[in-house]
Amino acid sequence: MATDLEPASTPLSAPARRYRESLWIERILRRETVGGFLLLAATVLALIAANTGLAEGYFGLRSTYLEISFGAFSWEISVGKFAADALLAIFFFLAGLELKREFVAGELRDPRKALVPVVAAVGGVIVPAVIFLTIVRAEGPEVQRGWAIPVATDIAFALAVLAVVGTALPLALRTFLLTLAVVDDLIAITIIAFFYTTDLQPGYLLASLIGVAVYGLIAQRYQEFFRVRTTAAWFVLLPIGVIVWFFMFESGVHATVAGVLLAFTVPVRARGGDEDGLGERMGLAETFEHRYRPLSAGIAVPVFAFFSAGVAVGGWDGLVEAVTSPLALGIMAGLVLGKTIGITAATWLVTRIPGVSLPRGVAWIDLVGLALLAGMGFTVSLLINELSFGQGTALDDVGKVGILLGSLLAAVLAVILLGSRNRRYKRLVAEETVDLDGDGIPDVYNEDRANA
């Protein structure tokens, strides 16, 4: 599959590598903009359906069970749980591909470059959890179980907002956000696997891991075949992936973890590529990203949002009661304050180490805006909320209100701050062609490409 992102057959120079990396970042931003709008539309539709005359049909559909039977074998799952466990596994598969790409051929392969966003992500996980637990400390263990709800960052929403308001922001800032969000996802996945696993069934887990190994062996051995034959993966790898997902689902470990494990087995470097994974041909991981991101951003995540974001607030009084509850306040404070303080403080601490600094061209005020943007928890936060309290419970509904309002507030504050910074960078590049972010490409050119 040839794309305009594939480099020439000659070896890439360092500036050319940076240029291709910038194209990759911008491609992600453009695609996530569309995904973010679809996600927003699905959320609005869910809220309308849950709070109008459509509520009975909406909640009835979410609770409807799908049944699969093969002879004596019979298995069923509700529509809402299918959206959260099965469709969202596609999202986590894409997240796993991004994670592996970052570790093998992206920013995370260089420990010096990776240190700052990785530490920032850790700070953006710890502080929100601490703030949440501080606010709900008197509410008992049932509410405290939701401590991980505000630790997540929604990649689709965050990158969509950044793509809209940050056309002239330094490329280094956009790379920083993507790396931070990817690491944040890895931490959230780990939390889900270890803290939200119930009734672990070792036999099913072992069967799932064996399936992962088989999937990886085939993907590695025949990567060129799957790269060239666009439909082959649907007939060979997809059935194996479905089996892996089923065994993971039955094991008690949240089934979306299967998506990440499968993605980790997909090769990033194409055979014959250079040492940076930027050879003449795309690796299978990048090929899969091209093919499956529309499925994730256009169908899987919006459908999940539609069935998960719907909450009946019970009119103005019900909304006020929900918003003022310790649970919702803890989530909102964790997303808005916790993310901002955690990411900024962790970054400040790590940059005290000699030789470690912010990415070139990024100011501290830019980082604060990025930290606010990371407070858009949404997709993964909704998932953890359901895992904490159970779908459709009173606590689940209150938690959703906190997630929606907290993510909205974080987005508004980030847009105000980053929008003003974006206008400043536009003036700078209009006055003088300078390389603000140190990527070897004049930023006036970066701006032209970002606006194209």
Give the domains, in start order, of the chain with CATH numbers: 14-196+254-451 (1.20.1530.10)
Give the pLDDT score at 176: 85
Give the pLDDT score at 140: 87
Q: What is the pTM of this model?
A: 0.78
Give the pLDDT score at 450: 44
Low-confidence ranges of the chain (pLDDT < 50): 1-13, 19, 274-280, 444-452
Give the pLDDT score at 422: 87
Q: What is the pLDDT of residues 137-153, one digit of tens each?
A: 989 899 999 999 999 88
* Three-class HEC string of the chain: CCCCCCCCCCCCCHHHHHHHHHHHHHHHHHHHHHHHHHHHHHHHHHHHHHCCCCHHHHHHHHHCEEEEEECCEEEEEEHHHHHHHHHHHHHHHHHHHHHHHHHHHCHHHCHHHHHHHHHHHHHHHHHHHHHHHHHCCCCCHHHHCCCCHHHCCCHHHHHHHHHHHCCCCCHHHHHHHHHHHHHHHHHHHHHHHHHCCCCCCHHHHHHHHHHHHHHHHHHHHCHHHHHHCCCHHHHHHHHHHHHHHHHHHHHCCCCHHHHHHHHHCCCCCCCCCCCCCCCCCCCHHHHHHHHHHHHHHHHHHHHHHHHHCCCCCCHHHHHHHHHCCHHHHHHHHHHHHHHHHHHHHHHHHHCCCCCCCCCCCCCHHHHHHHHHHCCCCHHHHHHHHHHHHCCCCHHHHHHHHHHHHHHHHHHHHHHHHHHHHHHHHHHHHHHCCCCCCCCCCCHHHHHHHHHC
Give the pLDDT score at 24: 54
Q: What is the overall mean pLDDT for the chain? A: 82
